[in-house]
Each structure stands twice: as C-alpha cells, then as structure tokens.
Chains A and B, each alone.
Chain A
Amino acid sequence: MNPPTPELIPTACGPTLARIQSVLDGATLPDKIAADPHLTACESCRGRARATRTLLAALPALDEPDTLPIGLTGAILAEVKSDRRARIRRRAVALVGSLAAAVAIVVWAATRSAGRPSPDSSPEIVSPRPDHIPALASTSAPTPGSRPIRIGDELARAGGAIRESSRELTDPAGAASQVFATLPSSFFLKPTPPPTPTEPVARSLAEISEVAKTGLEPVTGSAQKAFARFLRDVEAMQPGKPKS
C-alpha cells in the first residue's frame, strides 16, 4: 500500500478530512459528510467519503470476538502455577546457598581464630613484619642522624656475631677464631700483599690447636686437590695439543 502522506493533501481538504475522522471516531453522524460542499469540487475527498461509508459498514464485522482455543485458560493457569513454583524454588535455592555461604564464612573465621596462637603463648613467632626482624637487623636500622650503612662494616659485624654465636665451638679451638675474624677484612677491605705460597698457611696451621687443625685440614687438602685438578684441565685445553 502506498498512501499519500498528509503533507500532500491540499489544505482545502482539511475540514472535510477532519469531519471524516470525526465520523469514524463516532463523534459525528455519517450524514454530515454528505452535506459537505467541498465534496462537489474535490474528487479525492468524494472518494474518501464513499470509502468511509464502506468502512463504517464493515467495521462491526472486524471486531467479531475471536473464539478462544479450547483449553487456553487451563494452559495459562498451569503455566502460571509452574512459573510460580519455579520462582519459589529458585528463591529457596538462593536462600539456602547464601545461608551455606554465611555458615562457611563463620566456620572458616572461627577455625582461623582458633588455630592462631595468642601473643602471650609464643612470643618468638617469626613474622615478615619489620618489628619481628632479629636483633641484629633492628640494631642496625638507620635512625635520623646516624651514619650511613656500609656493607663492609656490616659484614664485619655479622662475622663478629657469627663468631660470638659459635664461641662455644671455637673456644676449644683457640686460635681458630682469629682466622674467622680475618675473613671479612680480607675479603672486603684493603688488599694485602700476597704472601709466600706456603709459609703463612703452614704457620697459621701450626699456630692453631689440634682440634681446629683437625677441622681445617680437610678443607685445605680439598682446596689443593681442586687447584691441581683445575691446572690439569687448563693444560688439557691447550690449543696446541689436539685430541687424538
């Protein structure tokens, strides 16, 4: 259907069309259309007026009540009932689920608080928090106005601490503690002129007690063996000696 748009309708037709609409609304009697003088001059409006009469005659047939399908009421009621039950079930499941979640959270919280020891019972808990760092670190914590931290000093201090903590073992060893005490300074501080290969070691080994000597001899022996093996490997990797 390709109807004319209202913009294309001449303005002279306006009152007639309004009257036709009023008749179709049921507000005006159909006879009023026939008395319109515009119809004698306008072929379109005359055609619309005739079509209006036709439409008015056919409209009562349009609003004939449709026969309801058999069982429609029962089907609707069953559907509504089933939907209502499903909604109640969904709500119940949601309620039970949320209750279960709440109970689980409460149980978890209770278990957690029961498993955690009280601060009075074990004051030695190791914790990553800064206030639980051992005394060594806490003593070296920078404070405003203190001097900056130096790695060498800290290592020396750590070595001292190790030495102090192992005093029970090292005391019987006597001079062995002096060897440990030289470790930080020999690694990180001033370089010392290389001594003659064997004399200082022999002297130092001779100075320490028998117990310490017994502990250190395997170390020195292993170092010598490792160095000998290193020299052998280097010799074996010389380019002038191809493999056979």
Chain B
Amino acid sequence: MTDAVIVRRCLAGDPGATRELVERFQKDVYGLCVRLLGHHQDAEDVTQEVFLRVFRSLGRWDATRPLRPWVLGIAVNRCRTCAGRRSRGPELADYLHEAPDRRPGDDSAELTHEIRAAVDGLRDDYRTVFVLFHERGQSYDEIAEVIGRPVGTVKTWLHRARLELLDHLRSRGLVAEEEAKEFKV
C-alpha cells in the first residue's frame, strides 16, 4: 500500500490503515528518538507524541512528497522540544537517569560506546544529521526534507560532525598503531 493510499484511508478513519501507518514508521521514529534523546522512557513518550501529531496534521501532508521524511521531521522537532524542556527543568540525580545501556563488553563495544558518546557531544544540528545519515540510513535529500534545510547545509553540518568525530577518536587514542604504520613511508 502506498503512502498516499494509507494516508487517505487513515483520514477516512480506517483503523487498519492507522495501525499500518504506525507499524510502518514506529521503529524509525523510536530509534531516532532514542538516539537524539539518549533516554528510553523519554523516547517512548516522544514517539507517542509524534504519532499524535502525525495523525492530527495528516490532512496537511503534501501527497506529492514522501511520507517518511515528513514523519521523521516531526520526530526531530518533538525531540528538540523535549530536549529543550528537559534542559529547562530540574536536573535528575545521575542514578535516576534511565540511560541506554552502553557499558562496553569488548573492544568493539568499547569503540561503539566511545563513538556514541562522541556523537552525543556534538552540537544538536550536527548530531541530528549524523544520526539520520549514519544510523538511520537517510540520504542527503531526505535529511534536508526532514530538518527543512538546504542540502548544502546538511552536507556542511555532516562533514563538520565527522571531522569532530575523527579528531575525537584521534585524541582518545582509538586508532590502532599497526593501522597507522601502513600510511608511513
């Protein structure tokens, strides 16, 4: 079933189409929320908010454009709002944070943990485009659609995010020495 058909059926009040739309996008939305918020409970709440917004404004969706970036755009905006609300509210004690389990088990897990931590330390815009590109597999055009910015801006932000990340990995000594030798004359 195409996006346009599913949306039309949702607008007509078809419960089956509503369920299908939720099942089609909930994984992307939830995954993005987890990565942007770093908190499973917040991500779950924001995912519900996102779908509420989606169904409330489904009538305003432009059928000539793809649905996925539109839904993810709502998710990015809701995450931004949630993060802003959280930063203004009282800070929880560290032990009350229900952060995703990122304890490194072996070298690769440690590396993944380190990269995730570095991504979390990026500026919000950089982190969003990095997550959308490298973790959610979105193209430049789709990301531009999601965040409502030109493709050139998306590329600039992503390149800067990568450079920061590479320099972070270098500074943390997470580059194997034997790999380094292969570039030497």
Residues of A in contact with B (beta carbons under 8 Å apart): 1, 3-4, 6, 17, 20-21, 24, 34, 39-40, 46-55, 57-59, 61-63, 65-66, 68-69, 72-73, 75-77, 79-81, 83-84, 87
Contacts and interface: CB of A to CB of B under 8 A. Distances in A.
A17 B166 CA distance: 11
Contacts of B160: 3, 6
26 contacts: A1-B118, A1-B164, A17-B159, A20-B166, A39-B183, A48-B170, A50-B180, A50-B183, A51-B166, A51-B174, A51-B175, A53-B179, A54-B179, A55-B162, A55-B169, A58-B111, A63-B135, A66-B27, A69-B30, A69-B44, A72-B30, A72-B44, A73-B19, A76-B22, A76-B51, A77-B18
Nearest to B180: A50
A3 B184 CA distance: 25
Instruction: Determine chain B's interface SS by DSSP, over half rule.
Output: helix
Given A51-B166, A58-B108, 5 more contacts: A48-B163, A54-B176, A66-B27, A75-B48, A81-B15
Contacts of B128: none
Contact of A66 (B31, B108, B166, B176): B31
Contacts of B56: 83, 87
Contacts of A75: 44, 48
A40 B47 contact: no
Contacts of B137: 63
B108 A21 contact: no
B82 interface: no
Nearest to B170: A47
A21 B51 CA distance: 35
A65 B162 CA distance: 22
Contact of B111 (A20, A54, A76, A84): A54
Nearest to B22: A76
Contacts of B183: 34, 39-40, 46, 49-50
A77 to B, nearest CB: 6
Interface in B48-76: 48, 51-52, 55-56
A76 B51 CA distance: 7
A76 B48 contact: yes
A66 B30 contact: yes
